[in-house]
Structure 1
Amino acid sequence: MAIKYVEERGLLYEIIGNGEKVLVRSTDSSSRAYLRFTNKTTRPVDIWWRDFRGTRHHYVCLESDAYYDVNTYITHPWEFTDAVTKERYCINNCHIYRPPVNLGGMQFRTNWNITIGVRSLRETCLLALATHIKKAQQVKYLELPKTLECELLKLVNLLHTEVVIDIERP
C-alpha cells in the first residue's frame, strides 16, 4: 500500500493507518549515515532536506547521472523533485527517503538512486505532449477539454520558458 502525504502551509504530513497526520521532519541526530544520491533520471533533480520543524531546505540541483554525497542521520527525511516541473521523484518507490536503520553507524558511503515514480497514464500523456509542443498557442488547436488544456498549458510553459539571469558587472 502506498504511503499518503498531505501538504499544508509548506509542511508535509504523512497519513498513517488510523488517518492521523504525522509531520515529516528530522527527529534525532545520533546515528550517522553516509549517503550518495545519484540522479538516474534524464532531468535535473532538486534535493531537499526536512529540518526538525518540518521546514524544507534546498541542498543541490543534480544533472542527469550526477551524484551528491551527504553526511546525514537515519531519521532525517530527504525529498527529490524535478527542477522544472516540480514532479516528485523517489528512491525505492518512496517520495520521502529516510536512510534504513541498519546504515546507522556504518563508516562507508552507500549509493541511493533517484528515479521517476509510477506515473498515471494522464500524467505520462500530458508530459509527452508538452515536450513536443513548443508554443503555448498550439495547445488550443488540440481541442482538449478545458481541464486538460489548462494542465497541458502549464506544463508547456514550464518546459519551454527560457530563464534569463541578469548579471550585473562592476
Structure 2
Amino acid sequence: MPGSDEYYLYETNEKGEQVLVKSLRSEKKAYIRFVNRTSRPVSVWWRDYNGHRQHYVIMPPNSYYNTDTYISHPWEFTDACTQERYVINNKQIFRAPECIANVQTRTTWYITIGVRSLLSTVMLSVASRLNNVEHVDALGLPKMLANELKSLVDKLRTQVVINHARR
C-alpha cells in the first residue's frame, strides 16, 4: 500500500452504538469495479482490521479500478487534492452487499460527488478559476472566507503542478 492514515472513523450500528469502521472477516469474496464518475482525481482507501485507512490508488477522472475484496471490508473515496469525501449510492462508506458474495463476475459501483453545501460549491468554483492565492485579496471577502479560499486555491494549484510534473 502506498500509505496509511491514522485517522479513525466511527459509525452507528443497528443497535445505536458507535463502532469503529474497520474490516471484519475475510470470508465472502466480492469482485468490484469502482468507476470514478467525477471530474476530479479520486483517492481510494480501504479500512484495515485495526480501522486504519490504507491508501490504494488515485483514480483519474472517468476511470475505473478493479479490486478483489470481501463483503465486510469498508472502502472510502476522497478528492485526491481537496480531501472532499465522495460517495457510492449516497454513502461515504462502501461495503459490497451480501447479495454479490462469492459471485464470480465483477460488479460495477459508481463514485460520485455527495451533496455539497452552497458555500462548498461556490468556494470550489471560485478557487478553480483563480491562478494565484494573492488574487483572493482582491475579492474583498471577510478574513475567514478569504483564508479558507486561499487554502483551497493553494491545494488546487499544488495538484496542477504535481499533474504537470508526472507527464
1:18–1:148: structure 2 CA closer, same or farther, 3 Å change rule? Answer: farther
Q: Provide the C-alpha distance between the structure 2 equivalents of 1:98 and 1:17, rounded to a whole number of angstroms.
A: 15
Q: Provide the C-alpha distance between the structure 2 equivalents of 1:41 and 1:10, rounded to a whole number of angstroms.
A: 24
Aligned to 2:123: 126
Q: Among all aligned residue pairs of Structure 1 and Structure 2, give the percentage whose two residues are the same amino acid.
A: 50
Given candidates 39, 62, 69, the residue that maps to 1:42 is 39
* Structure 1 position 17, deviation (Å): 7.3
Alignment of 1:64-79 (within 5 A): 64-79=61-76
Q: Provide the C-alpha distance between the structure 2 equivalents of 1:19 and 1:108, rounded to a whole number of angstroms.
A: 34
What is the TM-score with the length of structure 1 in the denominator? Answer: 0.87
Question: What SS is found at the alignment partner of 2:9?
Answer: strand
* Structure 1 position 20, deviation (Å): 3.5
CA offset digits 1:91-148 (Å, max 9, x no partner): 0011110011111111110000111111000000000000111110111111111221
Question: What SS is found at the alignment partner of 2:24?
Answer: coil
Aligned residue type for 2:57:
V
Aligned residue type for 1:25:
K
Alignment of 1:94-109 (within 5 A): 94-109=91-106
Given candidates 2, 21, 25, the residue that maps to 2:22 is 25
Count of aligned pairs between the two proteins: 158
Q: Provide the C-alpha distance between the structure 2 equivalents of 1:139 and 1:87, rounded to a whole number of angstroms.
A: 21
Aligned residue type for 2:98:
V
1:153–1:15: structure 2 CA closer, same or farther, 3 Å change rule? Answer: farther
Given candidates 105, 111, 115, the residue that maps to 1:114 is 111
Aligned residue type for 2:105:
F
Aligned to 2:83: 86
Higher helix share: 2
Give the RMSD, CA atoms, in angstroms.
Answer: 1.8
What is the TM-score with the length of structure 2 in the denominator? Answer: 0.89
Unpaired runs of 5+ in structure 1? 1-8, 166-170
1:91–1:148: structure 2 CA closer, same or farther, 3 Å change rule? Answer: same
